[in-house]
Structure 1
């Protein structure tokens, strides 16, 4: 068994990537959301017959161990901007029936997630819930506090720690353990580390591969992923019964400051026991499950099992709609099965997950793990079976149903992931996007095909007239499908956009998935009001993130910013010498492709630059002018300076306000 000790000289590197949040658009009264239609009311009412709403076990568990409520004062950043306000969710009452505009099952989930505050899990293990999208868990060590995951931002992490200190001894943070490589679990590092005796020396324990995976998911596609995340998490929606209700796995996203410290220790063995501040942790690596770098662990001293985000009180995403690589379902299943095998015979008093309330008692813990293991395996196996029978992804999604024993379990309901889009994810993982039909090999782009569809259907007025009839019949899926063609063909057709928005709205009101609800309602809002300006930096790929990238990752980022058509017939080679890292690179533009080599200098470059990494990043991003930096002595240039300036003009500047529901 290894022990974790404090490590001197740890480098702390803050990285800030603020998600879209808040809207600057003022809406007219006519732009407000519509009420639920009779068809929507009927569809939502049916859920009361399908599920056992008399089962209150989850509410009992969500309240268990309650110590104190959250501080309801809005949390602000250093500029005075509100980054978290728990009052936003005050309309969600535990004893209040679901609004007609919210799926009753999703409303129940929102009620459970609105049971917030400081809780005791077991003696020595405490939890703050509802202060962010994720959960912060504190283990009391021999000399200090071991914090399990840090929430997503500095400000919310600090607020969670302050709440704990109001009711427990104010011991220093002795270690941080991060369960997996998603930013909502490590972005608050700096907010936690400030409570250590020496923040620069606090041990940070992570699963193998964490440092490479922590930011890589957001580097190349950060702009579009951030835009789609705005849809997924409903960041631009008002919180209300006709707007944002929940994120499915937690209340919502903090709009605070994300931070990052390099870890001091990676758990590298598949099974590894480590003593942290006198407390024994037994780790199980679960790579490529819900996250590329992830781990579970059993805290022997407190008989507590921690399972990261591989299980929880929802069906999760095999594919996330914000966009990311599809997850390997069988590795996810394996992670849960190995957890049962490794820890199933331990004395388990409680199981902690990354987002929702704990589960107590060994029998209930194992039942949860086995149920979700079988849930994901059923989705995997039956999707592949139906694919082999020749069904397409859309057909499988419509056909496949869960067996009642899995379907009726509250924790297996699709509040975040859904059965339908997970089915398509499994299909895509093995067979890709193509369904095999030659008609779908080379379809026209949506604007061109939209115009053709409208022409074939007799023109915009006829399509809208028929769509209105289908809307009255409650056929919202079809109305959304057909009116998309009109809007893509003619985005100035306000009547079509408004009717499409109404269809999206009703689909959102009936969605059991928070993600689907947020996508539909955000789409409706943008059809009516256009794309809103966002507060914050406009995405995860802001300057502070980029400035702390390894050079190889930054050059990969520059490569995808290169506009290939602009670069046609351009041939350029540059040598780069970085004075701070004492490294050399050659970047070479040829065939409209940017390649780079580390440690290799071209014998006859067009230009050679000597500078530090930060200055290069600033210049390459257009934040600083090359000539000004040269005059200030920040850059030494030999060769053809204009060639490098011309190279910079070939790089696209990504804008966060890309259209989604309109061309």
Structure 2
């Protein structure tokens, strides 16, 4: 999907159209963009709906999940009602996205094949339960204790009534679990750093984990998880095709509905392999030809053979635009114009190339070399030359300063908004969003700029298949995550210490430079030496505690050590040496540390 882009020099208006925090309908430009984006899709193919509903057992009356504390863990009832099968797709939603939402909202218990059940919709993941001769085997016990408890209780109550933990370390391992023979295959660094597939030959059942979901996946996640390796990913899928392609009858995963039938399973694995490899190969090809990341994301288009397959659509979750480039998570940059088109639009809105050079010369003469270099770079990218202007520095200005200079050279924030409104009215949403992003950075309190940027991103969002509150209504404060005791106490102590290392207050730590502190946990036989060096906290695992430490904290149980590290609670620990609580040292999590030279 692409918006048609035409270069315009926006006239300056005397008045600006009314801007407010209301949601706007899809414009004609957006409606056309939506229609173009789904031109290759066959909406009369209901195979996925048949697969989703196959094996239906029972549905819960509600999906309101409440924590033991009484706090609401999740409440999807309103959303489920909104995208019910009898609800038509709104004009502000891409039909492909609406279809995917309807497929994903089957919150029910399903019998996949004999003795294999899935509970879908209680969480982002799918819980799979296998009734083996020796007991129940559970795959992916969901993301939170509350949803896991609710889903498993629902299974026990509605479907029928010993799980063990097994560590897989080799590429391929065969194990008998609860009387059932499994073959496990590690797929490290594919969809996740640690991932595996499982195969039950007696049933022809392949579990691909998260490696072959019913959607395009992310290579570079928006939330900041470790980047995936597309080559390892495609290799592991190809290995599954070669190893099980002639035998598999049913494929399940941890986020979506199953695939049924050998032909359908192999087709899905093949399409998944190919869209991942196509994105990778074409990105690298263009990179080697000298294309930048924004140019690559604009240039790559899925071939019709891949684009017409619903279940590897590059929009519902993973997105071709951010799988083929890096992204800074700023919504204004998601549909950013490539450098040349951006430069052309900048020059046009500035009044032409002579005006840009004239302003650039003034900045150069007044020592504002960084902005001069940046504005002249736009001229060069546009395909023009900028004479003999010289630059003292090639360092780019920080975002706020750059935005302020952009707005100043455009004639002030009123002029920028007027031009932006004109571009919005003519369907140039990407440039409008970018120029309004500069206006918002320049003056975050300007409501008109925020509303206009939100209006542009809204239209872009309507046409996309992966789904701008903050610009209109401000950023809401998020509640502190309630991880629960089980999460903290199961965390390896080394990982806990690493999480504390990044929370240190440098100013307070500087006052404790040279501090050495020992930690010892008896029941796990773990020993660490804490060192504060130049406002950096270093936690070193040791076999023998150094005698030079200022103090030693000893705990019989790991739980007691975690308590003192995270809450300052000293019950269950003993301290030898001098100590003084310094909660402010940590900044976020209080930590009892020893201040040298005190008693």
TM-score range, shorter-chain basis?
0.7 to 0.9
Q: Runs of 5+ in structure 1 lacking a partner?
A: 1-29, 176-202, 205-264, 427-434, 518-523, 656-663
How far 1:266 moved relative to its partner?
A: 0.9
Indicate the residue corresponding to 1:555 in structure 2. Answer: 497
Do 1:574 and 1:607's aligned partners in 2 also have CA atoms closer than 8 Å? yes
2 CA distance for matches of 1:387 and 1:505? 31
CA contact (8 A) 2:63 2:122 kept: no
Per the alignment, residue 49 of structure 2 pairs with 59
Aligned to 1:43: 33
Residues 71 and 163 in structure 1, CA contact (< 8 A), matched pair in contact too: no
What does the per-residue CA deviation read over 1:30-68, in whole Å, with 9 as the maximum and x for residues that have no partner? 745333233223322334533211111111211112222
Q: Which stretch shifts more, 358-367 or 435-444?
A: 435-444
Structure 2: gaps (5+ residues): 1-19, 328-337, 341-372, 378-393, 591-599
User: Is 1:371 matched with 2:271?
Assistant: yes
Shift of 1:619: 4.2
* Distance of aligned partners of 1:65 and 1:577 in 2 relative to their CA distance in 1, 3 Å threshold: closer
Alignment of 1:239-250 (within 5 A): none
Query: In 2, are the aligned partners of 1:284 and 1:339 still within 8 Å (CA)?
Result: no
Q: Which residue of 1 aligns with 2:239?
A: 338
Is contact 1:51–1:408 with CA below 8 Å preserved after alignment? yes
User: Of the candidates 184, 193, 216, which is equivalent to residue 315 of structure 1?
Assistant: 216
CA distance in 1, matches of 2:268, 2:208: 11
Find out whether 1:99 has 2:90 as its counterpart.
Answer: yes
For 2:489 and 2:116, the matched residues in 1 are separated by 37
Shift of 1:132: 1.6
Once residues 33 and 436 of structure 1 are traced to their aligned partners in structure 2, the CA distance between those partners, rounded to angstroms, is 30
Sort the Cα spacing of 1:66 and 1:551 in 2 relative to 1 into closer, same or farther, 3 A.
closer
Instruction: Please name the residue that 2:299 is paired with.
Output: 399
1:576 aligned residue (502, 518, 536):
518
How far off its partner does 1:579 sit? 4.8
1:533 corresponds in structure 2 to 477
Residue number in structure 2 paired with 1:147: 138
Which structure has the larger Rg? 2
Q: Is the 8 A contact 1:318 1:425 kept in 2?
A: no
Contact 1:397 1:419 in 2 (8 A): yes
Secondary structure, aligned partner of 1:280: strand
Deviation at 1:418, TM superposition (A): 0.6
Confirm or deny: 8 A CA contact 2:551 2:575 kept in the other structure.
no
Cα deviations across residues 170-203 of structure 1 (Å, max 9, x unaligned)?
A: 2xxx43xxxxxxxxxxxxxxxxxxxxxxxxxxx0
Contact between 1:573 and 1:602, CA under 8 Å: does it hold in 2?
no
| 1:485 and 2:475 are equivalent in the alignment | no
CA distance 1:163–1:633, change in 2 (3 Å): closer
Deviation (angstroms), 1:338: 0.7
Note if contact 1:326-1:425 (Cα within 8 Å) is conserved in structure 2. no
Aligned length: 507
Structure 1 residues 544 and 140 mapped into 2: Cα distance closer, same or farther (>3 Å)?
Answer: closer
- Does 2:22 align with 1:80? no
Partner residue in 2 for 1:661: none
Which residue number in structure 1 is paired with residue 586 of structure 2? 651
Separation in structure 2 between the aligned mates of residue 114 and residue 106 of structure 1, nearest angstrom: 12
Task: Pick closer, same or farther for the CA change 1:654–1:102 going to 2, 3 Å.
Answer: farther
Q: Secondary structure at the match of 2:183?
A: strand
Is the CA contact (8 Å cut-off) linking 2:127 and 2:141 kept in structure 1?
yes
Corresponding residue to 1:272 among 140, 159, 173? 173
Residue matched to 1:329: 230
What do residues 576-617 of structure 1 show as CA deviations (whole Å, max 9, x unaligned)? Answer: 243544543322222332223333434433444444654554
Alignment partner of 1:118 is 2:61: no
Structure 2 counterparts to residues 69-468 of structure 1, below 5 A:
69-72=59-62, 74-88=64-78, 89-170=80-161, 174-175=162-163, 203-204=164-165, 265-346=166-247, 348-413=248-313, 414-424=315-325, 442-468=395-421
Q: SS in structure 2 opposite 1:421?
A: helix
Residues 571 and 534 of structure 1: CA distance in aligned 2, closer, same or farther (over 3 Å): closer
SS at match of 1:364: helix
Report deviation, 1:490. 1.1
Q: For residues 339 and 586 of structure 2, what CA distance do their matches in structure 1 show?
A: 37
In the alignment, the residues of structure 2 paired with residue 436 and residue 598 of structure 1 have an alpha-carbon distance, to the nearest angstrom, of 49
Q: Is the 8 A contact 1:562 1:594 kept in 2?
A: yes
Comparing 76-85 with 384-393, greater Cα deviation is found at 76-85
Q: Please give the secondary structure, in 2, of the residue aligned with 1:492.
A: coil
CA distance in 1, matches of 2:573, 2:112: 54
3-state SS, counterpart of residue 225 of structure 2: coil
Aligned to 1:605: 549
Query: 494, 497, 505: which one pairs with 2:447?
Result: 494
Tell me how far apart the structure 2 counterparts of residues 274 and 579 of structure 1 sit (CA, whole Å).
34
Inter-partner Cα distance in structure 1 for 2:505 and 2:158 = 56
TM-score (norm 2): 0.78
User: Does the Cα contact within 8 Å between 2:554 and 2:575 map onto a contact in 1?
Assistant: yes
Aligned to 1:239: none
Cα 1:320–1:374, aligned 2, differ >3 Å: closer, same or farther?
A: same
Q: For residues 342-363 of structure 1, what are the alpha-carbon distances to aligned partners after superposition, in whole Å with 9 as ceiling and x for unaligned?
A: 11122x2211121111111111
Mean alpha-carbon deviation: is it higher for 605-614 or for 136-145?
605-614
2:536 matches 1:593: yes
Report matched runs for 1:508-523 at 5 Å.
Answer: 508-513=461-466, 517=467
Distance (whole Å) between structure 1 residues aligned to residue 507 and residue 519 of structure 2? 29
Q: Is the 8 A contact 1:124 1:302 kept in 2?
A: no
The alpha-carbon distance between structure 1 residues 610 and 85, as it changes in their structure 2 partners (threshold 3 A), is closer
Shift of residue 333 of structure 1? 0.6
The structure-2 alpha-carbon separation of the partners of 1:552 and 1:376, relative to structure 1 and needing over 3 Å to count, comes to same
**Alignment check: 8 A CA contact 1:575 1:601 kept:** no
* Structure 2 Cα separation of the partners of residues 93 and 150 of structure 1: 26
Q: What is the CA–CA distance in structure 2 between the aligned matches of 1:87 and 1:633, rounded to whole Å?
A: 44
Distance 1:126 1:330 in 2: 32
